[in-house]
Every structure is written in structure tokens, then in C-alpha cells.
Amino acid sequence: MAGRRAGAGALLALRVLWALWALRTAAHPQCLDFRPPFRPPEPLRFCTQYSAFGCCAPEHDAALAQRFGALAARVDAAVWAACAGYALDLLCQECSPYAAHLYDAEDPSTPLRTLPGLCEDYCLDMWLTCRGLFRHLSPDPELWALEDNRAKFCRHLALDDVDYCFPRLLVNPNLNSNLGRVVADARGCLQLCLEEVANGLRNPVAMVHAQDGTHRFFVAEQVGLVWTYLPDGTRLETPFLNVSRAVLTSPWEGDERGFLGLAFHPRFPLNGKLYVYYSVGVDFHEWIRISEFRISKDDQNTVDHRSERIILEIEEPASNHNGGQLLFGDDGYLYIFTGDGGMAGDPFGKFGNAQNKSALLGKVLRIDVEHNEHGPLYHIPPDNPFVGDPAARPEVYALGVRNMWRCSFDRGDPVTGTGRGRLFCGDVGQNKFEEVDLVERGGNYGWRAREGFECYDRKLCANASLDDVLPIFAYPHKLGKSVTGGYVYRGCEYPNLNGLYIFGDFMSGRLMSLRENEGTGQWQYSEICMGRGQTCAFPGLINNYYPHIISFAEDEAGELYFMSTGVPSATAAQGVIYKVIDPSRRAPPGKCQIQPAQVKVRSRLIPFVRKEKFIHTTDSTPRPKPRPTAQAPTKAPRRRRPTAAPPAPTPRPARPTPRPTSPTRRTGGRRGGGGRRRGRPSTAIPAPSDGAVRLVRPAGLGSGRGRVEVFVGGRWGTVCDDAWDAKAAAVVCRQLGFAQAVRAAKRAEFGEGRALPILLDDVRCGGSEHSLLECAHAGVGKHNCGHEEDAGVECSHQDPGP
């Protein structure tokens, strides 16, 4: 027994060592601006080895070439003849896709190296022939002092992680085999990251934009409130729309009724019209309502609530399967997605609502809301498939759907336009399968005859006249029990994601993707996981999310988001909006810049404060955050699934033991329907504490100098130079581990931090404080200055002398 225990212990130790090695060697390309590398828009002329992929745009490459030329002019010709190659090597490492590793820049709170980390053998060779070159490449006096001691000199230039030292990283297969591609783990799971963009929402069911150039986004809560968010992330205190008194919903988890959909008219900038989809009811009678509103003449950020006109109402025989999507197509028509009326197995009539062309439930509807100021509130598009059929409602565009939850039109490839106008929908299943459909004019999507690829009602399924359209993808309930349809990514920022359809499951919390094989037309499935190790260790990114995925969204620029919650109740403010990030590659700097049109704001602004944290783990399996309460999860807030239906459903799994409240997320949550369960991560990287500081400076600047940025309330920001003096500089330098403050820099000497908020102004220190927050100041976030007054410091490990 003792031998077995010893053997088991050795095996466990080996597994731990393997996990640590895998974490340490996992590729994590990152530039000096703490973002992923990119493909330059044109070949580089100086650092040509990084023309295909790296961290330099042509402008940066030209600046390095200029530095190289200036260096050649200062160095003795004989020395330069022997050492120019070394100079080229070292300068161009700012363009390496692993520049952040080479310059020790992964931790934003520590100063950048002035030279890249060198492998020992390379450093020793360079020291023998060209050590005089280092003085011209680095202003670091500590490095100069070690110049005559080869061993200490090269130890100073070494990296703790030898896998990333130059030039070894150039031939390291772990770092180069998938460079620039979306990384998949050993299970084939695509590793992506997230950025938190909004929080504290009550079941956020929709996020839409107005396509008016302002790049605002509007977030709808199930209770009937819609909020306006500006491009900088701030929220307006006054709701954009408030129909909460009319909306029918309740606090109980699983209520599918409520405010469910929102769409802006394609000509909203001209006519100010928008359309909403919500549940209403009186006594025991319930129905869904499609209404038109107009924007207020006095405020572009609020709706004129008196302008509501009811376009369409449809009676609901049960409280579930309410549908809820509204979309405008490229044809200018309004598409409405209804559920089958609820209960189990669509029991209404001989064949159910979904197969009944004379019923509006279980359908995709298409109507024309143009020119409706006088006469009918909507018209029928002349090419609707059942126009002229006396047995069908002319509004019907497609039929045979159970409860399509979240649909989207493909914007098409940004270069070729391929795929534009395709209509993707997730249709929630009954007992066995969830499906993703491509909706076409006149298509019959099979329900209740078929669920996924299999028969549900076998008699109806055998009817040869059904002629139903099969889904492009279906998955069993061991993977999830309530599909949430998503989007085909067509944004600018992450080229590798182009053409990837990303969707999820409300019950299991899985993020999933499909990519079409253009040759065969088949769709290839890949699960999406949160990146392991350092994959998501970029400032501001996270690798975990709440498990109940409610909806997906695009912003005006085409970037992709999803909304989820920890408590699926219309009154629980646990909803968060996440932006999907590809950590492997971004677009070249400047390509995706937007210039939002100005919009006058009358409401008070509420700044966004991040609350979610990065979790350090070697596990890249999809791990949503656990519920913030001890109560066990329940059903989807829109898609309650009955417990009995013909044929007999699979048994409902037993409720899990309630879990205690946890202050941090895990990267995995409960999986519905027998899905896999995975362990919790064992360690976490602590977030910076309030008052932490870092120095940010242009590339090539010496250690200990830079713009001061301070961490307060979950975000980094700059400090204004009003009252900025040597005593304040001393506080910063001491925090960063420097012995002395050489001087306090003003007037944005080390660059302007325009991407960040200004957090401190009028800072007055005595010099002995532990952080700037202990000094007197105007208050966090209060200032009367601009970024042209960003403060900086110059620190040193040595006494600067008299």
C-alpha cells in the first residue's frame, strides 16, 4: 500500500509539473501596447521578417529604420561593420509578435525593459564583439554599470521565461506553430476572451443599435426598460424607453413573458421610428404586441411614449413560447418571429399552430411598415410566399418553427459580400434536440413533425407533403437544452473570426460556433472556450462569464457581444454584457477607428465600472460563472420547457445541491442534460489594488520614465499635472520600487492617455504616503483638465546627486 501511495504521489507530482509547463509555454502573442499582433497593411521595409505578422505598422517600422540610421552615424565605422546585424536584431524586436514578453511588458505595473530579453549564448557572443553598442541602444545606467562583467551583464538581460528569449523564440515550435490563428486546445475548443462592457442589468434580452452613425447601443431589460449606452461605455440615467407598466412578466425564474424585442427602422435617422415586441395581459387573457414608437422631438435619447401605435397583436394560448425577435432585412421589411403558443408538443388543432398556415403562431412573419401614417398600419409584401392562398395568412414568410430565440441577418463578407442577407435562427427544441436554421422564403422548418433531424410526431413526419427544411446544425440535450441564436462575425477588429457563426445555450452556458465549408456547404462545429493560462491576460480582458446566455448582439461596427446572467429572473440585476475578443490577432492599428456622430445628451451620465475579474487557470474548457446565490438554477426566462409531451420526454435530472455564494467566478458552471462537469481553477491572479500605479511610455524610452497611470475602482486612468511636484513623484517612484524620484514631468511629456479616463487632479502629497490616494486630491474622477496635462515621472535606482 505504501508503494502504491508513493507511486500515486509521484504521478500526481508529474501531472502538476506538466500542467505548470503547459501553462508556462502556452503561446501568448502580445505587443507593447498590450494588444494582439496583426498583419501589417503593407510589407515592412526595415524589419522585413515581421511583414507577415507582428506588432509594427509601416509608421513604426520607418521610425525604427530612422533610429538605425542615427545609430550608424554615432558608432565607429569598424565597430558598426561587425555589429550592425546585432543592432538590426535588437531594434526589430519591438515588431515581434511576442514583444510584450521580450520587453517584460506583460505586467502593466512594471517598467518596460529598454532592450529585449536575450538568450544567454546570444548575449555572450554579442558581448564579446559588440558590447560597446549597448550604450547606444539603452539609456539604462544599471546596464552600463555591468558592462565589464559578462556574466552579470547577460543575467541582467535574461528573461525568467527562457522560452521567450531572443532568438530562441524564433524556432520554438510551441510559439510558432499556430501563430496568428485562433488557438484550439487539445479538445478542439476555440480559445477566445471577453471584455465586460455593461453590468447590473435585469435579464438583458436585447442589445441593438440605431444605424445612425452615433454608435450608441440600446439595451432592453425583460421588465420593459431600454437603456442608452454611449460609445465610451457610459449609460444615460434616463431610460430610452419605459413600458414596464404595460409589460406582462413576473419575478419568478422561468417566466418567458416580458419585453422581448426591439428594432430600429432602417431610415430611423430620417423618420425616428422604432418597433418593440412585448407581452401583455388582462386577467387570464394574454397576447403579444408589436408596437411602433417615435423618438422624442426634444431628446434624441428618449422615446416619445405618447407616440405608441399598436401594429399587431396575437393571442397567446399559454404563457410560454412567446418568440420575441424583430429584425429589418435588406429589403426594408419587418420580420417578426413568433413561438408556437406554448404548452408541450404544439397541441393546438389537428397539426399544431406551427404547421397551420392560417395561424400567426409558430411562424416567421414579414410585413411592410412603410407609409403607414394613413390607412393600414402595415401592408403585405407582394412577394410573401402565401399571398393569394385563401388557407394562409399573407403575413407568413416561413412556418414550422417551435420557438425561435434570437435570429440575425448576415452582413456578408466585408470584402466580397459573400453571405449577405442570410437569415440565421436558433430554434429551441422539445425533449431531445436544439437546432440552428437558415430561414428562407416559404420554408417549412418541420415542427411539430420533426425536432432537429429526427421525427417528433411520427405520423405527421411520415407525410410526404411536409417538404420540410432541415437545420444546418442540431445538438442533443447532453450539450444544452435551450439554444440562443447568435451572429456571423463580420466586424473589423478580429479578422480570424470572419465568417464564424457564434451562438450559445441558455441552460448549459456553452458558447459554440459553426463555420461553413464553402466547397461542400457543410457546417463545421467547434466549441468556444475561455483562453487558458495567459491567453486572455491582456489588460481589461476576462476569461469567464455568467452561465445563462440570454442573447447575442452586434454593435454598429459589426463587433460581437453576448448577454448573460447568473440569476434568470426579470428582477435580478445580475446581467452582464460581454464583447467577444480574439487574443490571437487583431486588425492593423487605425483600420477600425470609428468617428461617432455627435448626439446631444440631456440626461445625467453614469460611468461604467468593471466588476468582473480574470481567473488564472490551465483549463480552457468552457466555464461560466456560478450563480451569485445558493439557489439552484432554473429554466430559461423565455423558453420554459414542459415536463410531459408525446412522445414521452427524457426524465428531468434531479436538482443539484445548492452551492454557497462565491465571490469569484469559475470557468465552468452547471451543464444541463447530463453535460460534462469540470473542476474549478485552483489559482487566480489578484487584481491590482486601489492606488496601484504603472508607467506607460513610448517604445525605446529608458526604464523608470513614463506617464503615470493609477488604478482606482476597477479601472486604470491618468493623473493631471495641476499641483504635480517632486513629492508626488516620490510617492509613485517608491511604489514602483525605485530609490529616488529624479523629477516630476508635466504637460504630457510622455504622451497622452486619451484612451483612459482622468482619475486624479490637484494631487498634493507630503512625500511619505503609500499611494496617491492617500494624498490630498480633488476626488476620484473629478478634474478640470485635459489629457494634454497628463503627469509623468522620472525615477532612478541611484541617488541623482546634488
Alpha-carbon distance 361 to 315, whole Å?
9
Angle of CA points 760, 763, 767, to nearest 5°: 130
Strand partners, 261: 277
Half-sphere exposure of 46 (CA within 13 A, CB side): 26
> Coil, strand, or helix at residue 435?
strand
45: exposed, middle or buried (C-beta count within 10 Å: 0-12, 13-18, 19+)? exposed
The single-letter code of the amino acid at 457 is D
Take residue 296 and report the three cell numbers written for it.
422624442
Take residue 425 and report the three cell numbers written for it.
435562427
Task: Decide if 335 contacts 357 (C-beta within 8 A).
Answer: no
The label of the residue with cell 422624442 reads 296
**Helices (runs of H) and strands (runs of E) counted in the chain:** 12, 35
pLDDT given for residue 162 in this prediction: 87
Q: Which alpha helices (H) appear in 209-309, and where do they start and end?
A: 268-271
Reference 243, options 228, 226, 218, 267; nearest CA is 226
pLDDT digits (tens, 9 = 90+) for 138-174: 998 988 999 899 999 999 999 988 888 999 999 888 8
Alpha-carbon distance 52 to 617, whole Å?
31
> Coil, strand, or helix at residue 408?
strand
The label of the residue with cell 484612451 reads 755
Task: Decide if 367 contacts 395 (C-beta within 8 A).
Answer: yes
Take residue 14 and report the three cell numbers written for it.
508529474
Alpha-carbon distance 696 to 108, whole Å?
8
CA distances, 752 to each of 697, 728, 756, 757 (Å): 10, 19, 9, 11
> Coil, strand, or helix at residue 136?
helix
Reference 550, options 515, 512, 503; nearest CA is 503
Q: What are phi and psi of 258, to 5 degrees?
A: 145, -165
Alpha-carbon distance 18 to 22, whole Å?
6
In angstroms and rounded to an integer, the radius of gyration of the C-alpha atoms of the chain is 30
Stretches in the chain below the pLDDT threshold 70: 1-27, 107-109, 617-623, 625-687, 699-703, 797-802
pLDDT digits (tens, 9 = 90+) for 399-426: 999 999 999 999 999 999 999 999 999 9
> Coil, strand, or helix at residue 57?
coil
Alpha-carbon distance 210 to 268, whole Å?
7
Angle of CA points 246, 575, 757, to nearest 5°: 115
Alpha-carbon distance 510 to 522, whole Å?
22
CA distances, 369 to each of 334, 375, 770 (Å): 7, 11, 63
Reference 769, options 691, 668, 665; nearest CA is 691
Residue 642: cis peptide before it, omega within 30 degrees of 0: no
Alpha-carbon distance 526 to 558, whole Å?
21
Please spell the DSSP secondary structure of 633-672, one letter per residue: P---SS----S--SSPPPPPPPPPPPPPP-SS--S----G
pLDDT digits (tens, 9 = 90+) for 445-490: 999 999 999 999 999 999 877 889 999 999 999 999 999 999 999 9
Alpha-carbon distance 28 to 24, whole Å?
10
> Cα-Cα-Cα-Cα dihedral of 689, 691, 694, 697, to 10°?
140
pLDDT given for residue 703 in this prediction: 67
Strand partners, 474: 435
Alpha-carbon distance 544 to 619, whole Å?
12
Task: Decide if 526 contacts 182 (C-beta within 8 A).
Answer: no
579: left (phi over 0), alpha (psi -120 to 50) or beta: beta
The single-letter code of the amino acid at 121 is D
Q: Which residues of 653-663 are buried (b: 16+ CB within 10 A; e: fewer)?
A: eeeeeeeeeee
Q: Which residues contact 624 (CB under 8 A, 6 or more apart)?
A: 509, 544, 545, 546, 547, 564, 665, 667, 668, 669
Task: Decide if 408 contacts 337 (C-beta within 8 A).
Answer: no
Please spell the DSSP secondary structure of 669-692, one letter per residue: ---GGG----PPPS--PPPPPTT-
Take residue 168 and report the three cell numbers written for it.
530562441
The label of the residue with cell 486546445 reads 185
The single-letter code of the amino acid at 294 is R
Q: What are phi and psi of 17, to 5 degrees?
A: -60, -40
> Coil, strand, or helix at residue 212?
coil
Alpha-carbon distance 345 to 83, whole Å?
78
Alpha-carbon distance 42 to 54, whole Å?
12
Alpha-carbon distance 98 to 117, whole Å?
11
Q: CA-based diameter of the chain, in Å?
A: 98
379: exposed, middle or buried (C-beta count within 10 Å: 0-12, 13-18, 19+)? middle
pLDDT given for residue 14 in this prediction: 39
Reference 193, options 686, 621, 671, 538; nearest CA is 538
> Coil, strand, or helix at residue 120?
helix
Please spell the DSSP secondary structure of 570-609, one letter per residue: TT---EEEEEEE-SS-BPPTTTT---PPP----SPEE---
